[in-house]
Structure 1
């Protein structure tokens, strides 16, 4: 037992000694190993931090580049949005002439309601949806609108009240425009031949005449767009006119008024016009359209109709001196250059024309008189005409518009054989014109124009209906 106990003590002691020795060795070796491991870990940590910092810097730079690109895109989108909004404002102000192409840039058929963003921008108080509150207070930023439209190069359209329209026909488009015009004019003439003893007593003859003329003109106009800036136009009129003259002629010893009625109808003077848009209205400039009109003499002229004269009408004593049939044309070729300008100024559009019409003289002219005779007149040179007009157009809604303007023409005196015809003087014609336009559909528009004469020589009333239809 003692032996066994001692052997166990020796075994435990040996085991303890071995354990203590091993632990001591481990402890002795441990400091060197821990330092090396710490140094390794520190090196690895420093290398990893450098790589992470480098990656973070690369990512920040990449995001900055993308942010700069997004800012440039946003600025571009904002500029494009302003262009689109300006275009929309012009569309809302414009009226529709039948020549407007629904698919052409600047066409008058833009559907505003189909774009809620544009509706909110122009009517912030009516915006709907989640961003309506901000839109109403002006805090909402304009959202990107996609690809910007092509820059507007066509002038805005207005209700046509003058003969020369301001907006040209788009390229490849035909415009067929039937129109009807009613005109009425009246004038009074009192001729005194004699002398007075006192202001209340006249010794001599009195010639009193009242002339009333009614004219109906049906015109078919065809326009074609050669390019978006150039068009040609042909006008073919058919004229029906009637006149009534109430008079007491000189040397007629009667106290009863005489009535002289006359009529005339037929083809009028065919016209051809070419127009070209000079600029695109950039830089705050108005739009300018130059044009050139040529008028033929296809209608029956005043020298072809029979006149109630036997001798010269200036000293006629055996006839009325009046035509038995009214002419349907002027009897002279004419060339008229001019230009039209349009200046958009929200919410109105101002426009006008300047023109100069030159009548070509005719030689060896003879007039047909009663009983088949001819009266030789020689060379006739009608007076040239300088004309200008100015107007303003305003859109009432997306279909209707209103225009008002003034038109004036200064007509020179007529000459015969180089001498001014007695009684022929310079004449000033002035009219106040009001026009309305209503878009029926995308291809047709109804225009109504009413004119009132402001001078004695101007027709008292003119009423014109136009219905341009595009194809």
Structure 2
């Protein structure tokens, strides 16, 4: 069993005294013995000084908080750097001197207390831990939300392609009552009553391709296929018949192809908005409304107009070129994302327009200019988990009056279309997402219900 420093010191002192007593009365000690005694006394004095220093150090350590490990600084530097390296092991000899056990002496000339170091060694200098690589850069693209509108908010990354098949269905119904004549008394009408009830179904299948030119610029191409069917309950205009007839018509074919480009204006970030500018051009690849045959004997306007005035086959295109600039904004505010956009659609006028009536005759209409459309929308997206998100928004479009020959078409008024939208998005995989949106019309001219399903896939 090891002895304390005081025990070994007592043993050394007793040995010296016994040696002195045993030689009492003999001749004086040799010079080498005197030198050894002097060395022992110096060692004893040095050991007393070391023990006093150790007592003071132990008292200070008991009253102080536990010391941090020598590699704590290295752990702090390595945290968050992504280097994956473990902290360096403590340098040897850095344990506190008070915890070291004294060594057993080998000889009297070298007592055990000499094994105790006078001062604890200084900790080895902390090596500089260099970060390997660099932390990932913050994503500067807008956050992903369940899409409600035609303009997507998130741009396609550079070099990536997104192929998005989609399907949209819309249903609308409207009633119209027109009194052509005058009333003698409130209960008596002299003239004609034009009553129409229209049920309209529109189905559109589309294929959209988007590609990222840069991380801030993307291009889009959209090709739709349209199927339409209308059922109209009405009476022939300007006739005295009291029999109602059902007029069924439909049309199918390619719709108006579109090309678009979008550019992210700023970087954005947490509590900062993202702004995306867009430009969309719509062609007139679909069947022209002036090319289909209209249910009129000779003409549909003016004198001697007969028939319902409705097309015998529904067109699949608008018949006009259009250009639509837009600005979309997204503002992330955890856990929600607020978004919206404003747009202006300009329809280019057409000159020397004619439409076909019964018998193959052409009715000249001259210059026709559809009304431009001012649109805006806004909404909020909320992430339910790492795969699902929910969005709620409102879309509004104000359509100006149609002009013919520079003058407004009789009966044409500004139309307001308001739709309340609810969207849901679910990430099926890292490259495929299912988006579903449902719209409810809030004005009389808006489709009663619309349903849209999209399945974008990234390549």
Report the TM-score, using the length of structure 1 for normalisation.
0.71
1:463 and 2:451 are equivalent in the alignment: yes
Q: In the aligned structure 2, how far is the partner of 1:145 from the partner of 1:437?
A: 38
Q: Pick the aligned partner of 2:168 from 181, 190, 197.
A: 181
Residue aligned with 1:191, SS? strand
Q: In the aligned structure 2, how far is the partner of 1:334 from the partner of 1:254?
A: 41
Residue of structure 2 equivalent to 1:129? none
Residue aligned with 1:193, SS? strand
1:39-438 superposed matches below 5 A? 70=74, 73=77, 77=80, 148-282=135-269, 284-309=271-296, 310-313=298-301, 315=303, 317-438=305-426
* Residues 452 and 460, structure 1, Cα contact 8 Å, conserved in 2: yes
Kindly indicate which of the two structures has a greater share of residues assigned to helix.
1
Residue aligned with 1:329, SS? coil
* Residues 336 and 357, structure 1, Cα contact 8 Å, conserved in 2: yes
Pick which of 312-321 and 166-175 moved more: 312-321
Residue of structure 1 equivalent to 2:431? 443
Give CA-to-partner distance per residue, 1:292-350, whole Å, 9 cap, x none: 10100000111111112212435553222111111111111111111111111122111
Q: Which runs of 5+ in 2 are unaligned?
A: 1-25, 51-66, 83-130
Q: Which runs of 5+ in 1 are unaligned?
A: 1-21, 50-62, 82-143
Q: In the aligned structure 2, how far is the partner of 1:316 from the partner of 1:72?
A: 92
Q: CA RMSD in A?
A: 3.3
Q: In the aligned structure 1, how far is the partner of 2:304 from the partner of 2:442?
A: 33
Residue aligned with 2:359, SS? helix
Q: In the aligned structure 2, how far is the partner of 1:283 from the partner of 1:447?
A: 25
Give CA-to-partner distance per residue, 1:59-84, whole Å, 9 cap, x none: xxxx99x989659737x74xx89xxx
* Residues 208 and 249, structure 1, Cα contact 8 Å, conserved in 2: no
Q: In the aligned structure 1, how far is the partner of 2:304 from the partner of 2:437?
A: 41
Q: In the aligned structure 2, how far is the partner of 1:306 from the partner of 1:250?
A: 18
Report the TM-score, using the length of structure 2 for normalisation.
0.72
* Residues 319 and 250 (structure 1), Cα distance of their counterparts in 2 relative to 1, 3 Å cut: closer
Give CA-to-partner distance per residue, 1:68-121, whole Å, 9 cap, x none: 9659737x74xx89xxxxxxxxxxxxxxxxxxxxxxxxxxxxxxxxxxxxxxxx
